Amino acid sequence: MIPATVKIPAFIATNPLFLEACEFSHFHHDAVKQVREGTGEPYIVHPIEVATIVHAMGHECEYPPEWIDVAVVAALLHDTIEDTNCTYNLIESKFGSVVRDTVFWLTDVVGKPKGNRRVRKELEKVRLMAAPGRVKFVKCCDIIANASTVLDDKPASAMLFLTEKMALLETFVHYNRMHKGVDNMGKLDKVMLAKCRSVLVELLDKISKP
């Protein structure tokens, strides 16, 4: 059961699918005793933050309800494979293959054996460049959520985090330019791109100022 201290937004609390995904995610993160770095809050707070951004931006970008539903559920589950003992088969059995595939793309599969941090981040950029637009959309929402807390939670590594995410965002921009004028499922909505970029630029400027 999600602790009473965790605020569940109305759009999740009143939607059976979203609430099930939220409880599913909390169960798996809590089972491995994962909490948020810096605050010690239940980890589910982060997926809820990402899902909230996805829900708001999905409506702002005027995506259809079924598109938003998959994106919100995937946002709630996006760290379950990477950080817990949850499996893709279990996600598919509960939420379907489209959600499973979206979570797959959002899971960091480039581990330390593949090289140092710089090499791993480059490989992950190449991987995500080929991802569907909905995956990139959720990823940007994850970046925004993490960026909003990085200065408080991880001040020593904030600059590295922000520059890495800006580089990833440029990969998405490059993909869009490569397919300009073409209806392509891998393109990321321009409104989402602009929102994510503005958040990163603002924080980078804040760090750079003496």
Answer yes or no: is pLDDT of 113 > 90: no
Q: Which residues of 116-154 are buried (b: 16+ CB within 10 A; e: fewer)?
A: eeeebbeebbeebeebbbbbbbbbbbbbbbbbebbeeee
Q: Is 42 helix (H, G, I), strand (E, B) or coil?
A: strand
3-state secondary structure of 9: coil
Evaluated on CA atoms 64, 69, 75, 79, the torsion sign reads: negative
Segment 63-108, tens digit of pLDDT: 999 999 999 999 999 999 999 999 999 999 999 999 999 999 999 8
Catalytic-labelled residue, pool 20, 23, 30, 83: 83
Instruction: Please tell me which residue in 37, 60, 82, 202 is annotated as part of the active site.
Output: 82
Percent of the chain's residues with pLDDT above 90: 82
Query: Among this protein's residues, is 205 annotated catalytic?
Result: no
CA pair distance 206, 178, nearest whole angstrom: 32
User: What mean pLDDT is predicted for residues 17-38?
Assistant: 96
- Checking if the pLDDT of 57 tops 90, the result is yes
Active-site annotation holds for 82? yes
Residue 116, pLDDT above cutoff 90: no
